[in-house]
Amino acid sequence: MKKKRFMLGVLAMTLVIPSLLVHAAPATKSSETDEQASTEGEVTSKDEVVYAKLDANGELEEVYVVNTLNVSEAGEIVDYGTYSSLNNLTDMSELIRADDHVEIEAQEGRFYYQGNMSGESKLPWDLSITYLLDGDEITPEELAGKEGSLELKIETSANETVDPVFFENYLVQISLTLEDEIYSDIETEEGVVANSGKNKQITFTVMPEQEEELSLRADVVDFELEGIEIAAVPSSMSIDAPDLDEMTGDINSLSDGVLDIHNGVGELKNGIAELNAGIRSLQNGSEQYKNGIGELANSSSELVSASSSIDEALTTISQSLQVTDDIDLGDLESLPGGLSQIASGLDEAAGGLSLLREHYSVAYSTLDKAMNEIPDHQISEEEIQALYESSADAEVIDQLVETYAASQKVKGTYSAVKEGFDAVDGTLQEVSGAIGEMSSTLTQIATGLATSLEDMDGMNSLAQLEEGLSTLSANYGEFHSGLVSYTNGVGELSSSYNDLHSGMSGLTGGTTELENGAGELHNGTNQLYEATSNIPEHMQEEVDRMISEFDKSDFEAVSFVSDKNENVNSVQFVIKTEGIKIEEQEEVIEEVEEEKTFWSRLLDLFSRG
């Protein structure tokens, strides 16, 4: 019995001594702390790592912060923050929790402690995770173990109730690990897919100040998902400005090319203005020519009628002078007067033709000058195509090309009929001269006839007169036939020229529109040049703006738990969602009573004692 008690005493001592040693250590440390209680410690810097747990839909469940204090001088430290509970991760010393701060007795070096935040805590970002299976939304609990076509959506947005400094300056990285046995045909537009052993790692990056809608699609079997890992760190990388010299050099070349186009369009505009002025002069000259040729055509019938009368009169006189026995020489006394009247009529006709020739000459000269003022530029198809490719107004270019073709057609038509126009003046001069000569001849005949009648000695003189008038009548008949052919030609020319003049009038309207369009085109190329000439400056401004937007290298960290904390070195966020797992069935294990060994029976013996 004494041996039993001795062995129990030894066993009891074995269990108690370690316990005493454990409780003795904090007591020693506590006594050391009490000696330093009056000393105020100093912290050179502080780091915070914010840990958060979300459910599978992204709802916040738990937040705690691991604080790292770099203590340069041991003593009492005050760290600000409101926590529901504390956990010393450095030593066994007590942490005193006040309303908005924590009191710590810390030794020199790094001091770690955990502060658990209340359930009302918020993160700087709101996350929403949605699952769709075969197009229908499904809860995480229902999704476990399912198969089909999965779409997973993650939406990030700013939490307006939290200091925006984190949302504005932190880069958020979202990572998912997808097991090869579960996921296949993975597709994502916003994420980066990488191999992680036999699995796939999907990484999404959300830039500062950005709210995103992220998604991935995959075919799944026996669906399970490890927790989604989310890390947020300051986007403190410095962004170097790119070298834009080569690019801006090319743009300057483009701007110079646009300037050349603008200058070319200016020259084209001036040329079109000259063309339009020439076309207007052409129309005025054509109008005068049309009126003149019309008057000539209208007076042709009168001229032919008068000539026909003269021809008939000459024929009648010639026939009446045939020598017969019954001729009455007294009737011949009226012949000189009749011939003088014919000569006078011919003089009037010659005068009318001379006046018509004068008007025709002026009109034709104006027309010819206007035609010659139409520019004879030869524009190739390649040049026209280059103009279409110059970003100019296509409708204006169509008008340019149409007017250019019409002006060239008019000029070509004029060149083809110019020989006929030239012949009209010479013909009018010849006809007028011939009529003048006939008038002079008739006047001489009338004068000679009057004298001859006074001195007429008989039938011999009458026979000579009859012979001369017959010759004159025959020659005038040929002249009259030519005059009829000429007037017919003038009539056809007048009718045809009306069509030509109508075309010229239409051409004038087209060139006026063309000149206006060229002016608009010139204004457009000027605006294009002004826009392209400033592109290098605009590019540099845009690059600087984008760099300033994403370059957070000047960001200074602030505390997440309290704005009273100073010397904050870094604040990081580590967030993870709850995974989705297939629930395992519990196995019922029947307990089999094992046969007791000697030692177990010995222990039973002591326990009973």
User: Residue 573 above 70 pLDDT?
Assistant: yes
Residues 6+ apart with CB under 8 A from 22: none
Average pLDDT of the residues in 334-351? 71
| Strand, coil or helix: 105 | strand
Any domain includes 30: no
Of 155-164, 296-305, 521-530, the one with minimum mean pLDDT is 296-305
As for how many domains the chain has, the answer is: 2
The backbone torsions φ and ψ at residue 469, rounded to the nearest 5 degrees and listed phi first, read: -70, -35
The candidate with the shortest Cα–Cα distance to 143, out of 155, 129, 164, 156, is 129
Any domain includes 323: yes
| Residues 255, 133: Cα–Cα separation, whole Å | 55
Same domain for 201 and 288: no
Question: pLDDT tens digits, residue range 127-186?
Answer: 999 999 999 999 999 999 999 999 999 999 999 999 999 999 999 999 999 999 999 999
| Residues 85, 102: Cα–Cα separation, whole Å | 10
Amino acid identity of residue 43, one-letter, is: V
DSSP-derived secondary structure letter, 219: E
Six-digit token pair at 538? Answer: 């605009």
The candidate with the shortest Cα–Cα distance to 209, out of 154, 155, 172, 161, is 172
Same domain for 203 and 118: yes
pLDDT score at 461: 56
Same domain for 465 and 365: yes
Cβ 356 vs Cβ 449: under 8 Å: no
pLDDT score at 603: 65
Question: In terms of residues, how long is the chain?
Answer: 609
Residues 6+ apart with CB under 8 A from 295: 356, 359
Average pLDDT of the residues in 351-362? 71
Question: pLDDT tens digits, residue range 8-22?
Answer: 333 333 333 333 333
Sign of CA pseudo-dihedral 398, 401, 404, 407: negative
pLDDT score at 71: 96
> Degrees (nearest 5) of the Cα angle 305, 300, 444?
60
Between these two residues, 556 and 470, which has the higher pLDDT value? Answer: 556
Q: For residue 361, name the pLDDT band (cuts at 50, 70, 90).
A: confident
Question: pLDDT tens digits, residue range 221-277?
Answer: 999 999 999 999 998 655 555 655 666 666 666 667 667 776 777 776 677 777 667
Same domain for 226 and 325: no
Query: Position of tokens 């007076």?
Result: 299
Six-digit token pair at 438? Answer: 């006939």
Task: Mark which of 490, 521, 543 sits at the end of a domain.
Answer: 490
Question: What pairing do the DSSP bridges indicate for beta strands 42-54 and 568-577?
Answer: parallel
Beta pairing partners, 77: 104
Any domain includes 37: no
Beta pairing partners, 75: 106
Of 1-15, 154-168, 505-519, 564-578, the one with minimum mean pLDDT is 1-15
| Residues 89, 67: Cα–Cα separation, whole Å | 10
Query: Position of tokens 């094992």?
Result: 594
Residues 6+ apart with CB under 8 A from 242: 543
Distance from the first to the final alpha carbon of the chain: 10
Q: For residue 563, name the pLDDT band (cuts at 50, 70, 90).
A: very high
Any domain includes 3: no
| Residues 392, 380: Cα–Cα separation, whole Å | 18
Any domain includes 319: yes
Between these two residues, 533 and 369, which has the higher pLDDT value? Answer: 369
Same domain for 422 and 288: yes
Domain ranges, residue 141: 44-238+551-584
The Cβ of residue 409 has, within 10 Å, a number of other Cβ atoms equal to 12
The candidate with the shortest Cα–Cα distance to 507, out of 361, 362, 371, 369, is 371
Average pLDDT of the residues in 300-311? 67
Q: For residue 334, name the pLDDT band (cuts at 50, 70, 90).
A: low
Any domain includes 21: no
Of 294-298, 307-311, 443-447, 543-547, the one with minimum mean pLDDT is 543-547
Task: Mark which of 438, 460, 490 sits at the end of a domain.
Answer: 490
**How many Cα atoms are found within 13 Å in the side-chain-facing hemisphere of 188?**
26
96 CA to centre of own chain: 66
Task: Mark which of 490, 511, 536 sits at the end of a domain.
Answer: 490
Any domain includes 590: no
Please, what's the b/e burial string for 465-488 (b: 16 or more CB within 10 A of its CB; e: otherwise)? bbebbbebbeebeebbeebeebbe
Same domain for 181 and 54: yes
State the SS3 of 454-503. Answer: HHCCCHHHHHHHHHHHHHHHHHHHHHHHHHHHHHHHHHHHHHHHHHHHHH
User: Residue 64 above 90 pLDDT?
Assistant: yes
Q: For residue 35, name the pLDDT band (cuts at 50, 70, 90).
A: very low
Any domain includes 466: yes
Between these two residues, 158 and 501, which has the higher pLDDT value? Answer: 158
The candidate with the shortest Cα–Cα distance to 521, out of 206, 229, 177, 262, is 262
Q: For residue 126, name the pLDDT band (cuts at 50, 70, 90).
A: very high
The Cβ of residue 286 has, within 10 Å, a number of other Cβ atoms equal to 26
| Residues 276, 399: Cα–Cα separation, whole Å | 13
Same domain for 184 and 296: no
Same domain for 557 and 422: no
Question: pLDDT tens digits, residue range 104-113?
Answer: 999 999 999 9
| Residues 483, 130: Cα–Cα separation, whole Å | 104
pLDDT score at 332: 58
Same domain for 405 and 298: yes
The Cβ of residue 81 has, within 10 Å, a number of other Cβ atoms equal to 20
| Residues 441, 448: Cα–Cα separation, whole Å | 10
Question: pLDDT tens digits, residue range 377-424?
Answer: 777 788 777 777 776 777 777 877 777 777 777 777 777 767 766 766
Average pLDDT of the residues in 365-385? 76
| Strand, coil or helix: 196 | strand
Same domain for 568 and 453: no
| Residues 186, 202: Cα–Cα separation, whole Å | 9
Same domain for 561 and 429: no
Same domain for 193 and 83: yes
Average pLDDT of the residues in 189-195? 94
Average pLDDT of the residues in 283-301? 67
User: Residue 23 above 50 pLDDT?
Assistant: no
Helices (H), 321-334: none
Q: What is the average pLDDT value for the chain, to the nearest integer?
A: 76
Q: For residue 29, name the pLDDT band (cuts at 50, 70, 90).
A: very low
